[in-house]
Amino acid sequence: MTQHQDERARIREAMDRLLAGQATVSNGSLTVVALAVEADVHRMALLKRHADPKNEFYERVRTETKQVPETEKRLRETVTKLKKTVSDQTTEIEGLRQQVTLLALASTVLVREKGTQPAPEPTDAPDNVYPFRPPTT
């Protein structure tokens, strides 16, 4: 038996033990990490060389235990959080757009009011203030 076939056999045996709730080496959780520990196979070997037994394991977790795998639970939680973030940001952007519109209207009103009123007379500046531009007369 080659090393590759030996690893696959150990993975299948570990899969059966985990699904039966009889873990001997791992913590018994239904994850790829626990499967790799239980089978005494490096996790990356399980993910890269033995992807089909890994997928079979997750499928068996779904069908035999009626559970959702941990990775899928975490992904679903992340998706839910991201959807809420997008929703909150969309609401915030809409509020900012309304605020920009209101500020533009207020600016227009102020500019028009300023144009209809006479300019205030310049007041004499204190001795210690120097204007950037000379006063126009």
pLDDT at res. 101: 93
Tokens of 16: 């059966």
Domain boundaries of the chain, sorted by first residue:
3-67, 70-112
pLDDT at 20: 86
pLDDT for 118 beyond 80: no
pLDDT, tens digit, 9 for 90 and up, residues 95-117? 999 999 999 999 988 888 777 66
Could you report the per-residue pLDDT of 57-95, keeping only the tens digit for each? 888 888 887 777 777 888 899 999 999 999 999 999 999
Q: What predicted TM-score, i.e. pTM, was given to this entire model? A: 0.51
pLDDT in tens, 10-53: 888 888 888 888 888 888 888 888 888 888 888 888 888 888 88
Cα(78)–Cα(70) distance, integer angstroms: 12
Contacts of 107 (CB under 8 A, 6+ apart): none
The answer to whether 61 touches 16, Cβ cutoff 8 Å, is no
